[in-house]
Structure 1
């Protein structure tokens, strides 16, 4: 029995949310970018490994050639990042990106910003991410053992809960919130993929560095006595990182 092709559904069009990070360079000099990327995320695997990127040309003053754009794409691949699209900029910049094989996104596309794309000062770097695309949260990752120096824990797509000591030199990363019910002495990076509503909570704030959605601050000995070693939280107030004591915990 023959089946008419009209009776068979060969494909469908479905709406999906973009899961793409925006990478906002101020130059396409690959030597400078390589140094900056190495300092920011290191040479090995990192919490953004495998992410798809859109090159955002809004902060780029130069008019690149397709060869320039391809060189940046290849550089990003060395850091386990995959440029698949571009956005912003002028017609000439977009034409070069298109020739280099990137998709040109319109201004309505939903993107989040890659941590470290812009800087205010050595102590605090600020990225202004667009609202992250709504996505289903994964269950919280719960760690009950101490996180030792040199260890990294990443809760992809959800919250991270640690009920033991986080040593100096350890790193906690979460796409959602970070809760540490013990001394926090290492680094804590919440909202790693652009969630500006994420927070860091700890019962004993002694962190080396804290970050929310790419806005970070190194603490060292700068914490006041009202916060150091006390129950505290970290959150964003617009683009300002706020660290304050938790009320009613003493």
Structure 2
């Protein structure tokens, strides 16, 4: 009997990491009657708003709100049934107490401790702008004028216009190289 090495055997599958778009439900209350009313108010008129999108139940707001909501028991089977009525597919939970996470796992959700809802780009930009000090204004230095070449460039020649535009008023033969930090203009017959 021969044993095929992993490198030679044809693979029937691969396991790779994936970044998937997930919707996050930031649960701010364990009161499912209130949640049901809010979902009906927001999405009742548009039943096809979600298209079976995967969803992470984020329990962090329950932990951060106040002492009365910390550690509240969430009825996960009822929550999952409610969410599925709005065509979302709950796949994971995060941010809960040990008891809440155990209850979520028992209901069939995965623990997604590293799943973080994406911040809108405008909020990210505002945060980074507030952290970054304003750059100091450099004194105005006049930009150098364009480098103007009036003679033909032969094969193998290289012209570099460092920090400015390059204007070539003659032929650039095959194999010649023109480089500029700014714009390049070639006016040749």
Q: Shorter-chain-normalised TM-score: which range? A: 0.5 to 0.7
Partner residue of 2:103 out of 96, 102, 105: 96
Would you say the 8 A contact 1:63–1:92 is kept in 2?
Answer: no
Q: Which has the higher strand share?
A: 1
The residue aligned with 1:115 is none
- Gaps of at least 5 residues in structure 2 are 63-68, 128-189
1:64 to 51, 62, 73: 73
Where in structure 2 are the equivalents of 1:205-220 lying within 5 Å?
A: none
Match of 1:51 in 2: 53
Question: Which structure 2 residues correspond to residues 25-36 of structure 1 after superposition, within 5 A?
Answer: 25-36=27-38
- C-alpha distance in structure 2 between counterparts of 1:20 and 1:82, whole Å: 10
* Contact residue 44 and residue 79 of structure 1 kept, 8 A: no
Q: Report the count of equivalent residues.
A: 116
1:196 aligns with 2:121: yes
1:58–1:88 contact (8 Å) kept in structure 2: yes
Q: CA deviation at 1:73?
A: 0.5
Mapping for residues 1-250 of structure 1, pairs under 5 Å: 4=4, 6=6, 7-60=9-62, 61=69, 62-64=71-73, 68-106=75-113, 108-109=114-115, 111-112=116-117, 130-131=118-119, 195-197=120-122
- TM value normalised by structure 1: 0.41
Contact 1:28 1:69 in 2 (8 A): no
**TM-score, structure 2 as length reference:** 0.53
Deviation per residue, 1:93-122 (Å, 9 max, x gap): 11110011100012x33x43xxxxxxxxxx
Q: How far apart, CA to CA, are the structure 2 residues paired with 1:95 and 1:3? A: 42
Superposition RMSD on alpha carbons, in Å?
Answer: 2.7
The structure with the larger Rg is 2
